[in-house]
A and B are shown apart, each in its own frame.
Chain A
Amino acid sequence: MMWGITAAELTAISLSLKVALTATVVSLPFGILVALALSRGRFPGKTLLDGLVHLPLVLPPVVTGYALLLLFGRRGPIGAFLYDTFGIVLAFRWTGAVLAASIMAFPLLVRAIRLSMDAIDPRTEEAASTLGATRLWVFLTVTLPLSLPGIISGATLAFAKALGEFGATITFVSNIPGQTQTIPSAIYSYIQTPGGDEGALRLSLLAVIISLAALAASEFLARRNTFRREASQA
């Protein structure tokens, strides 16, 4: 194996990628909707929603993980409902890792998209509506394309955060090799084991490489965003 990567480490890497990718893809539509509500909406409880979204950013991750365990555990109110109705179990499964990573990455996702939406001149959207576009059409043809830079950078941040999520994940889904052991929890296990330094270092380097690759990919996507490129030339 290259660099002596073991099968167990490979599993952890692929699981991490799967969890991070799924978390990013699943939370993206919600992130866009919440960002839209926070940027454009005027409704009671907006401050509360804003606070709730940002809570995982300021709470100790272990507290978030514990809250997830209480709510989404098999006997938690939401967890019991999901199990009884759909047969879905989240706690101690990779899907639970997706949930934990999504929650932890959500503030970063929403923040980036919202900043991008805030930067759009509302009159550009208003112009579209006076031209005959319904609100949905304005969103699809004006708001969404114009907030694409924020969506790309938000998704990248969310992916990187999901990849590195440790505290909430280990609390909610534990550290089961092959099932819920992601790169960070595998590194943690190595550090706890005598003689595991080499493995910890190897995985850490890999984590750096994956994160840099994600950053490069987002940079590439942002550059392909033609109107931005032309704007910088003008």
Chain B
Amino acid sequence: MIVFDCTLVRKGFTLDVAFESPGGVLALFGPSGSGKSTILRLIAGLDRPDRGHIVIGGQMLVDTAAGCLLPAHKRRTGLVFQDGNLFPHLTVRQNLNYGRRFMQSEKPLIGFDAVLSLLDIERLVDRNPVTLSGGERQRVAIGRALLASPGILLLDEPLASLDTARKLEILPFIERLRDEVSLPIVYVSHSIEEVARLATTVVHIEDGKVVASGSPASVLAPRFDEGANRFQAVTMLTGTVARHLPEFSVTVLDHPAGEIVVPSSIDRPRGSRMRLAVHATNVALALRRPTGMSVRTQLSGRVVKVDTGAGPMALITVELAGGDQISAFATRLALSELAITPGVPVFALVKAVSIDELSVTGQLPKK
């Protein structure tokens, strides 16, 4: 349980943010410079708010009204920065052990060997941090934070400096932390795919303020705005693994509105619930089920909303059978020629190849 309500005034920037999170992964989502990292620094005790309070798991970290301010080293917040910031003069093993000596006699959150196997870093322990790859460094940094037995894990864009392959290498580990260690996590990111994949709760921050907060599907749902970046608009679908087609290296998901073809072999058993992020620019609409075309994913639904402005674009929201909503960008021209208006039954077509691996292999968080 996280309660955060703080104001911080800096030259040319004011942060004024309040939110609550029941646990799981809280994603702070928004553009760079919006104040996401500052929120983490306030929680970790590296910055001090001008006003407000922060409570984590029932412990008061800051309360300016009561004059309470717990110093950073007493907060037990495992903070992992974008570059890991390992101690370059210590070996990986010494890095991992750094926080253990400060633990009081309490039972450790997780044992040394358990961390090594959880993060798959056994063979790195005697290496020097400067010889590690970016992904390895990040995993060691997470391990170092875990071994200090934190009450909460704070991840500040932990994947931002990694390429897609390295991201895919780390994401499953963060999912394991969420699902196996059940440690509350605050995850800062400007990547909608990462947030879609990991978050239990999303707080969308812009310019030091909360724009929206709630479930990933509701917060990340595309909104029509002429100035907004339409390539950032994403909707979330939930399906279950129906079958694997190893000869084509694809996985087919079942969804009430139709089958979804995912261009990767998902290493999960049949029946696993998966979450999928689909970019609104990659969705096409058809009035009848098309035949003789390459797009395999054809989901039936009904148009519930059409947003247009003076520009060329329109954002169409389709309610699919089963209740999920999917958004599609189309030109106003197409809309007018097909006479698409609210209430019209349509098929939403999603090109499988447009679904990237980052947004598909996310297992659904446990409820």
Contact = CB atoms under 8 A, between A and B. Distances in A.
A127 B85 contact: yes
Interface in A110-144: 121, 123-124, 126-135, 141-142
Contacts of A128: 87, 98
B103 A132 contact: yes
Given A121-B85, A123-B85, A130 B79 contact: yes
Contacts of B78: 130-131
Interface stretch (B69-77, B113-121, B261-269, B282-290): B69-77
Contact of B145 (A124, A131, A142, A227): A131
A231 B144 contact: no
Contacts of A134: 73
A145 interface: yes
Nearest to B81: A123
Given A227-B130, A230-B128, A231-B130, A130 B45 contact: yes
A146 interface: yes
Q: Main secondary structure on chain A at its contact with chain B?
A: helix
Interface string B318-330: 0000000000000
A234 interface: yes
Interface residues of A, number: 23
B57 interface: no
B289 to A, nearest CB: 54
A229 to B, nearest CB: 10
A124 B86 CA distance: 7
A130 B130 contact: no
Interface in B83-103: 83, 85-89, 98-99, 101-103
B113 to A, nearest CB: 19
B73 A230 contact: no
Contacts of B74: 132
Contacts of B141: 127
B76 A146 contact: no
A131 B46 contact: no
Contact of A142 (B45, B46, B76, B87): B87
B130 A127 contact: no
B131 interface: yes
B44 interface: yes
Interface residues of B, number: 31
Contacts of A234: 128, 130-131
B346 interface: no
A233 B87 CA distance: 17
B116 to A, nearest CB: 18
B102 A131 contact: yes
Nearest to B41: A126
Contact of B72 (A126, A145, A146, A230): A126
Nearest to A135: B73
A127 B72 contact: no
A130 B72 contact: yes
Nearest to A142: B87
B42 interface: no
A227 B79 contact: no
B128 A227 contact: yes
A22 B89 CA distance: 29
Nearest to B78: A130
B73 A127 contact: no
Contacts of B102: 131-133
A135 B45 CA distance: 13
A230 to B, nearest CB: 5
B208 to A, nearest CB: 21
Interface in B239-293: none
B148 A132 contact: yes
Interface in B40-70: 44-46
B148 to A, nearest CB: 5
A124 B46 contact: no
B157 to A, nearest CB: 12
Contacts of B86: 124
28 contacts: A121-B85, A123-B85, A124-B88, A126-B46, A126-B79, A126-B85, A128-B98, A129-B45, A130-B44, A130-B46, A130-B79, A130-B145, A130-B148, A130-B154, A131-B78, A131-B98, A131-B99, A131-B145, A132-B74, A132-B102, A135-B73, A141-B98, A142-B87, A146-B89, A227-B130, A230-B131, A233-B131, A234-B128
